[in-house]
Amino acid sequence: MKMPTGHKNSEKDMVKENMKKMLLAVYICLISSYPFFAAGKPEPPPVKVLEPEIQHVVSDKIQKLYDAMGNSVPAVIMLPCKFTSAVEPEISLAVQSELPKQLVLSGRYKPVFMTTHLATAFGRTKAQNPFGFVTALRGERYSQSLQGFFTAYIFKNADTYVLSISYYPFRGSLTQTQVFRFFSTAKDLPGIVKECIDELYFRIDNSISTNKKRILIRDFQVDFRKLVELESGEFDFISSPFIMHNGVQYRAGDDYFSVLLGYQLSSTFLFETVMAKDFSEYANSSNITAAQIDYILTGDVILTDQYNLLRIALRTPGGRNAIVEITYPFQKSSVYSLWEVYREITQLIVLQVFNNNEYGVVNGIENEGCDFFLNNVFIGRDSIDPIVLPRGSHTITTKPYKVFLVEVPPEELPEDAENAKKKKGDSAEGEYIPVFKEVIPDAHTFYILIGEKKEIYLDKEGAYVWNLLQK
């Protein structure tokens, strides 16, 4: 039986009509999200909730203060703290606990963690460099305002621990504000960390604007060598997996040398620094442009039981030839000896990077038993000779860090029976028994003026001059 011709046509028409409806439905689905792109307004990323993991490392009292902050207090991201292999777990755990605790007690910033998000976003594929890492984070939306990053680095040298705490702003130029302190035991940490936080806040609020150069400092390669010598006199230094220096064992990755030099450079107020080490979990240090940084500093260190060798190179981003190349043999590797070495190296770098009329080299500033602070920034102890400073006026203050035991001359001893015997040498052995007293060194203030010539004034004299300069 044949279908009527008219029925066939109506069937085709129905098929066409259904096809039109399907295409229209697909079109509507497609254009439902299109206006955001057509108008040049991409859909904003979802809000990421920051991880309040601080409860894992602090007491209930601090936790209550932390919870009371809510989302109104600006947050700071806690980057992983780093330690050399000789730092005991007691010390490392104390730092990781004390730093967020002191931030909470200050009430200024709320410490937060982004461990999960950062591990997911950058765990397998790192950002090319710290600048790309931070740019990616700036493109996200968060449950509260982000102010910056905090991190810490601790190394042990002889019987001294050195703590470095760094703050990087979330917006603006990615350069660190870094503080340095020495301490001896974990019991010292609450006071030391609080002191560091107070100094950081002061420096953030009172930043000094000068013609600073920005330097990214890559991790230094640290190698250990052992001397092998034959009876014939032939010798060589062979590679070793570790070495003992000043009673401390160092292993691969124990690079505190770059951290120390970074601090020395920034404490001159002529440089701003970025430590690649601080972002190493999430970013490499490649493909850096001149728009991001002025110079890149690399270095390597060879430690032996006899002599040590430090090599440093400073380049512009993308530059093949080094602007500065320094090879510096040194014998003592204590942190105080390195501090002296790095002051000289800093001076050599400044000579190549700045014009003569932008800085001055100051000699002869000493105050044994005292720490030195330049514009409230720790810059060394006992002596800071020489020191490089920007052109202008500077105030260096000192603060005692040790107590000296000084023998009391016999003629100054009180006239009591016991001391009378000591004066006459009438002890059990018939010898004079010395008497000692504790002496705290005097603190001083150095006023330094660097212009056409350099002038140094001390204490009240300098205060008079500084007052007149304001007239």
pLDDT score for 5 = 42
Give pLDDT tens digits for 83-98. 999 999 999 999 998 9
CA-to-CA distance for 349 and 298, rounded, in angstroms?
Answer: 13
Domains in the chain: ranges and CATH: 47-354 (3.40.50.10070), 404-439 (no CATH)
What string of DSSP letters covers 259-326?
HHHHHHHHTTTSEEEEEGGGGTTTB---S--TTT-SEEEEEEEEE-SS-EEEEEEEE-TT-SS-SEEE
In the numeric block, which tokens belong to residue 21?
């409806």
Whether the CB-CB separation of 212 and 272 falls below 8 Å is answered with: yes
Give strand pairing partners of 329: 309
pLDDT score for 34 = 31
Give every residue of the chain whose pLDDT is below 50, as ranges: 1-8, 15, 20-42, 52-57
In the numeric block, which tokens belong to residue 278?
């601080």
Give pLDDT tens digits for 346-400. 999 999 999 999 999 998 899 999 999 998 888 988 999 889 999 999 999 999 9
pLDDT score for 413 = 74
Scan for tokens 């001083």, then name that residue: 444
CA-to-CA distance for 103 and 109, rounded, in angstroms?
Answer: 6
CA-to-CA distance for 203 and 200, rounded, in angstroms?
Answer: 5
Whether the CB-CB separation of 297 and 217 falls below 8 Å is answered with: yes
